[in-house]
Amino acid sequence: MAYNLLKGKRGIIFGALDENSIAWKTAERVHEEGGTFVLTNAPIAMRMGSIKQLAEKTNAQIIPADATNLEDLEKLVEESMEILGGKIDFVLHSIGMSINVRKGRAYTDQNYDWTHKGLDVSAMSFHRVMQTLHKKDAMNEWGSIVALTYMAAQRVFPDYNDMADNKAYLESVARSFGYFFGKDRKVRVNTISQSPTPTTAGKGVKGFDAFINYAEKMSPLGNATALECADYTVTLFSDLTKKVTLQNLFHDGGFSNVGVSQEVIEKFE
């Protein structure tokens, strides 16, 4: 169901890889709600995924950009404003990567070059994106910036590895930069802490299937899907959430506030 919530709004969506990704679903929903946008991803991810299909479906242009490269980001922001015909109203940061996870290195046995690279891609890139938007005065007043995170930033999930640290850093950047963006430009910055979701990135975590089943049993409403996350993101891009900023918003069917559920107790009885 569409409500025209984003009519006339312009944005940039980072990280759409394939139809399982939250950024992909968000792009589809933003399009349905009347928003226009530029799609962007790292050149390597663009070769792996099917972003061109999404661009055709949503009448969007694609600008490849490495979110760890300032020149790329400056070019992205400038070209986006040209293509879209004005300043930006919304941005989705949906980027995360851990080489340690991908290559099966334990948290207690990190390759620090990989750790550094993961931090750069997953978290520092968010600061870079916002700094570029801020310096170029590229955001409209009452604009909205959202990054995707996970509860491992607050609690221990052993196999989430160094991504947990990356997400903690990401959430801190959202608060700190969000303060300045709010004061200077009335732009709001939030993170959405999503349920475990079977995306390409999510499925890379060891024991993912067992974990997603556990989360489902722990959440009174069950796990939130990628499409439901897209719906929530649309509300944060809309004018209905003008005063919501500096928040880490749990979108997880209630998982984050449950100590133990009846189903989990029964499993161990």
Q: Would you please indicate which residues are annotated as catalytic (active-site) residues?
A: 150, 160
Both structure tokens of 229: 């996350």
Beta strands in the chain (DSSP E): 10-14, 36-40, 61-62, 88-93, 139-149, 188-194, 248-251
Q: Which residue has the tokens 């061109």?
A: 52
Return binding residues: 15, 21-22, 95, 167
Where is the binding site for NAD(+), in residues?
Answer: 15, 21-22, 95, 167
Rounded Cα distance, 192 and 195, in Å: 10
Q: Which two tokens stand for residue 233?
A: 């993101």
What would the DSSP string read from start to end of 157-192? -GGGTTHHHHHHHHHHHHHHHHHHHHHHH--EEEEE
d(CA 247, CA 243): 10
Alpha carbon 93 to chain centroid, angstroms: 4
